[in-house]
Amino acid sequence: MQALILAAGVGKRLMPLTENQPKCMVEVNGISLIENTLNHLANRNIDEVVIVVGYLKNKIIEKFGSNYKNMKITYVENEIYDTTNNVYSFYLAKDYIHDDVIMLESDLFYNRNLIDTMFLRKDDCDILVSPFNKETMDGSVIVVDKENVAKKLVIKRDQDENFDYTDAFKTVNIYSFKKEFIINKLFPAIETYVKTQSLNSYYELVIGSLIYFGNDNIKVIKTDDKNWCEIDDIDDLKRAERTFKIGKNRNN
For 190-217, how does the pLDDT look when each residue is reduced to its tens digit (9 = 90+)?
999 999 999 999 999 999 999 999 888 9
Measured in Å, how far apart are the chain's first and last C-alpha atoms? 21
Q: How far apart are CA 238 and CA 49, in angstroms?
A: 28
Q: What pLDDT digit, counting tens, does each position of 102-133 carry?
A: 999 999 999 999 988 898 878 999 999 999 88
pLDDT at 68 over 90: yes
Q: How far apart, in whole angstroms, are the C-alpha atoms of residue 18 and residue 174?
A: 23
CATH fold for domain 2-243: Spore Coat Polysaccharide Biosynthesis Protein SpsA; Chain A (3.90.550)
Instruction: Give the closest residue to 143 by CA, choosing from 161, 133, 157, 129.
Output: 129
Q: Which of 62, 107, 58, 67 has the alpha carbon at shortest distance from 86?
A: 107
pTM given for the model: 0.93
Query: Could you tell me the pLDDT band of residue 246, with boundaries at 50, 70 and 90?
Result: low
Picking from 17-31, 38-52, 75-89, 134-148, which range would have the lowest pLDDT averaged per residue? 134-148
pLDDT score of 53 more than 50: yes
Q: Is residue 204 within 8 Å of 211, Cβ to Cβ? A: no
For 33-39, what is the mean pLDDT?
97
pLDDT at 251 over 80: no
